[in-house]
Structure 1
Amino acid sequence: MPVSEERGYAENQARVAELKARATQIRRLNDEFRKGRVGGMVVITPGIRAFPPERLAKALQEVQAFTSFNESNDPYGEHDFGSIEVGHHRVFWKIDCYDKTLEFGSPNPTDPDVTRRVLTIMLAEEY
Structure 2
Amino acid sequence: MSEALAQTRPSTTERIAALNDRARLSLDRTARTILTMNLLDSLSDGKRSNDILAQARVMKAMRECTFSKDSPERDMAWFEVDDVKVMMKIDYYDADFEYGSQDPANAAETRRAITLMKPEDY
Normalising by structure 2, we get a TM-score of 0.78
**Residue in 1 that maps onto 2:105:** 110
Q: Does 1:70 align with 2:68?
A: yes
**Residue in 1 that maps onto 2:90:** 95
1:29-40, aligned counterparts within 5 Å?
A: 29-38=19-28, 39-40=30-31
- Deviation of the 1:57 alpha carbon: 1.7
Identity across matched positions, percent: 28
**Residue in 2 that maps onto 1:44:** 35
Deviation by residue 1:56-103 (Cα, 9 ceiling, x = unmatched): 32111000121x21224x1xx100011011122110011111111212
* Alignment: residue pair count: 105
CA RMSD of aligned residues (A): 1.7
**Residue in 2 that maps onto 1:5:** none
Does the CA-based 8 Å contact 2:40-2:54 persist in structure 1? no
Once residues 13 and 84 of structure 2 are traced to their aligned partners in structure 1, the CA distance between those partners, rounded to angstroms, is: 30
**Residue in 2 that maps onto 1:26:** 16
SS in structure 1 at match of 2:11 = helix
- Deviation of the 1:113 alpha carbon: 1.1
Deviation by residue 1:89-123 (Cα, 9 ceiling, x = unmatched): 11001111111121211011111111110000001
Unaligned stretches of 5+ in structure 1?
1-16
Normalising by structure 1, we get a TM-score of 0.75
Does the CA-based 8 Å contact 2:94-2:110 persist in structure 1? yes
SS in structure 2 at match of 1:101 = coil
- Deviation of the 1:37 alpha carbon: 4.8
Q: Which has more radius of gyration?
A: 1
| Structure that is richer in helix per residue | 1
**Residue in 2 that maps onto 1:122:** 117
